[in-house]
Amino acid sequence: MGKKVYLQKKRPQSDMLFSRRKIEEAVGLANLAMSLLNLPLVVKLLNRMSDLDSSAIANKLIRVPGVSRILARADADNILKVIDVIDFMRTIMEDDVLDESLALMIRQHDDPFEFAQAALQAIKDGSLKLKKRGAANTRELIAAWYKANRKRVPVKEQAEKRLRKPTVLVLTGQEDSKVTGTAERILKVSTEMSLSAFPVLVNKAYIADEDATDNSITIHNYDGEGNKITVQTDNTVVFVRGSAILNNAGLGIMQVLEQAGASMVNGIQTMQLCQNKLASALTLDRHGIPTPKTAFVSNEDSIGIALKKIGGQFPVVVKTITGSEGIGVAVVDSEQSLKSVLQSLWKYDAEVILQEFMKIKYDVRTIVADGKIVACMKRIKGKKDFRTNKALGNETEPYDLSEEEKDLVRRVATLSGGRVVGVDHITVGGKHYVLEVNGSPGSGADKYRAYFGEKRNVNGDQMMSHIVSLMTQNDARRSNEQTVGYIEKASIEGFDVKAKLDTGNGSYNAVHAEDIELKGNEVSFLLMGKKRMTLPVKETKRIHLGGGEFEDRPVVQLDMTLGRKDYTDVYFALADRKLNVYPILIGKPFLSSANYSVSVNKKFTLG
């Protein structure tokens, strides 16, 4: 194959660190290297570069037609690594001899990541001894896996799939293809990113049974003008606006796309939870999130009970269970007025809740994407209206969240299970209360305080551009749920254990702890009965043990690994679980935020 290019004078030293990050990096680089090896022009170019330094090689490589697309998102350091990996892989591919003991282990693993983990551990504990070398580093192990599997790995197909830009769909209840508001903004920024983007008018579009295959769906009359589009669902990101789920037509289209594996922002469960003010209020209250007192009122006989539940004081807030942008919300200051308002709403079959009234000057809207705070602003109450919604013409300003507020909104976003949500909260008497969670937050404020990039303040276009970029990145696109077993291997603060995944547990995760002792705002405990830890108490969770007995459990944040993913600052209630089979219980809120669907017929699907 001509001259070989080496960027290092010496072969790398043995790397015996059992590092998840290094293995993942090696897999990614090997994938990229294999795709580049299929480009003869690159190989020829490398062979002519033996007299150049690595920087010059990188500069020339990035200019090769076809390669620039593959490396479009790679920085200079990664390009140098890729060149190094290409050269090493080309060398090992020329070697027809593969150590027999290593070859046997490779045949037992269909995934290079799992193989490298197993091989490194086997070398470390001495159960795998290589004839040619006393040890192997991460990169050489990954390359060996690809060598053994080069005939059955569809490299070109994999590379092309990684390079495909996603299609963006915006589901909306608007009636005109020239959509407005945030739907228009999503389409605009997607187009500016060179993505194919289409509005789907759910009241006019339809999907026929014969047009839905395993990975392809055709949407007819998507724009209300007789046109149709066909999308590959594994490469499609669907932004769902609130107006799209107001009827069965929208829910039907959404369900077909979600079940076909499109990446939903957000899924049906999240959208319906956020749309229903009563369900969301009950969910927040059940998980110890401070909210205004709320009660459902269905007829005149229930008015007195509802009023008592929310404190019995006027004024009170009347809300329809569904509604947005301040529509269906009123404040009444007497029981007589309340009955009149309720009777008017019931005439139109409206479902209504009452909430305690809290006097405020503004509320705060925070946008959270995949668990990270993106932007924040406060909405100032109008002089003649208690509502703060921007859609009603009220003023907005960028807002700086305190650490306590950041923690609160992230917890609420996680409970919602949504990828992009808006969390609304207020502060009264120094205490923060969550008003609601919005599954299709708007973007019409003049300025937001940015929690991304270098700019302190951003407008709606800039914020949505960042969100669309996050949702359409290769490593962020995913099907909505990964099916896992009800028992999985986990690691928590260095302890390798078996965890029970329980969708019936609607509260925080629980972990075994002994000798639990509260010390002011901190708690000291023995994790797994062995490791002494002292951590801040995030809150105290009251657990019903049955038979009228309750137990208060401190909640702390711990780091956990589940499968191949690391999770930081996960909420765990401390509990003595000596009598339980499994020391860790993973609850529904975490499973929802991690997009896990639990199968009671499976175990250990995550490795």
Class for the domain spanning 362-472: alpha beta
Q: In the predicted model, is pLDDT for residue 20 greater than 60?
A: no
Query: 293-355: which CATH topology?
Result: Dna Ligase; domain 1 (3.30.1490)
Helix residue ranges, H only, 95-172: 100-107, 112-125, 138-149, 155-163
Residue 342 has pLDDT above 80, yes or no: yes
Over residues 560-566, the mean pLDDT reads 82
The whole-number pLDDT of residue 156 equals 40
φ, ψ dihedrals at 421, nearest 5°: -135, 160
Q: Helices 138-149 and 76-94 meet at what angle, rounded to 10?
A: 60
Contact 234, 215 (CB under 8 A): yes
Tokens of 478: 């995913």
The pLDDT value given to residue 39: 39
User: What is the overall mean pLDDT for the chain?
Assistant: 77
Which residue's structure tokens are 């290769």?
474
Give the closest residue to 98 by CA, choosing from 145, 159, 40: 145
Q: Which amino acid is at 568?
A: T
pTM score, whole prediction: 0.58
Q: In which band, very low, low, confident or very high, does the pLDDT at 255 lie, cut at 50, 70 and 90?
A: confident
Tokens (6 digits) for 556: 């702390």
Select from 70, 31, 41 the least CA-distant residue to 155: 31
- Predicted confidence (pLDDT) at residue 143 exceeds the cutoff of 50: yes
Q: Tell which phi-psi region holds residue 90, choosing left (phi > 0), alpha (psi between -120 and 50) or beta.
A: alpha
Res 582 pLDDT > 50: yes
Q: What is the pLDDT of residues 61-82, one digit of tens each?
A: 445 444 444 444 444 444 444 5
Report whether 6 contacts 119 (CB < 8 A). Answer: no
Highest mean pLDDT among 18-27, 238-247, 597-606: 238-247
Query: Please, which pLDDT band fits residue 34 given cuts at 50, 70 and 90?
Result: very low
Q: How confident is the model at residue 326 (pLDDT cuts 50, 70, 90)?
A: low
pLDDT at 189 over 90: yes
Residue 9 has pLDDT above 50, yes or no: no
Hey, where are the domains in the chain?
20-149, 160-265, 293-355, 362-472, 482-599
Maximum distance among all Cα pairs of the chain, rounded to whole angstroms: 92
Say if 293-355 and 362-472 have the same CATH topology: no
Task: Indicate the CATH number of 482-599 among 1.20.120.1200, 2.40.70.10, 2.170.120.12, 3.40.50.300.
Answer: 2.40.70.10
Cα–Cα distance, 393 to 465 (Å, whole number): 24
Q: 160-265 sits in which CATH class?
A: alpha beta
Residue 283: φ, ψ to 5°: -65, -45
Euclidean distance between CA atoms 371 and 408, whole angstroms:
12
Partners of residue 212 on adjacent β-strands: 217
What pLDDT digit, counting tens, does each position of 525-540 carry? 999 999 999 999 988 8
Mean pLDDT of 553-570: 86
Residue pair 582/467 in contact (Cβ under 8 Å)? The answer is: no
Q: In 3-state terms, what secondary structure has residue 448?
A: strand
